[in-house]
Amino acid sequence: MKRICLFPGTFDPVTLGHVDIINRALPLFDKLYIGIGRNVNKQPMFSEEQRLNWLNEIYADNDKVEVLAYDGLTVECCKNVGANFILRGIRYVNDFEYEKAIADMNRSIAENIETIFLTCLPQYTSVASTLVRDVLKNGGDVSKFLPEEVRNTIQ
């Protein structure tokens, strides 16, 4: 059985924290889908097209990675792409509590899909897309939190 994983998120914008989790997960899976979830309750700063482009550019040379956007439940997206794992990054203990509740719900809906948690490296614990957006909105420099592909686009 192939180990196929979905890493869901909004990636608004893609940060070095996201890239850290993805890069460290790649050896664990045969295929890794990065899924941009469409959430009607969130108004993204960057277009879906821009976020897809960033991720496609960052992983252009890696045939194990495929980027997509999806509506609805994450477990349904997993079923659509044949993923049997969901990848989530954890920065702090409160992230784990929140993510565990989601993982438990997902498991109750689709018991064959397992959630895998990776903790981020210490230098990325404070890197959150929400904080990066706030700094950007207020004219601050976010270059040290973003991959080159993202920095080149927003500066």
Catalytic residues: 18, 42, 91, 129
Inter-axis angle of helices 93-109 and 74-81, nearest 10: 60
Whether the ω angle into residue 13 lies within 30 degrees of 0, i.e. cis, is yes
CB 34 within 8 A of CB 62: no
DSSP 121: P
Distance between CA atoms of residues 8 and 23, nearest Å: 15
Distance between CA atoms of residues 57 and 51, nearest Å: 10
C-alpha neighbours within 13 Å on the C-beta side of residue 27: 3
Helix (H) and strand (E) counts for the chain? 6, 5
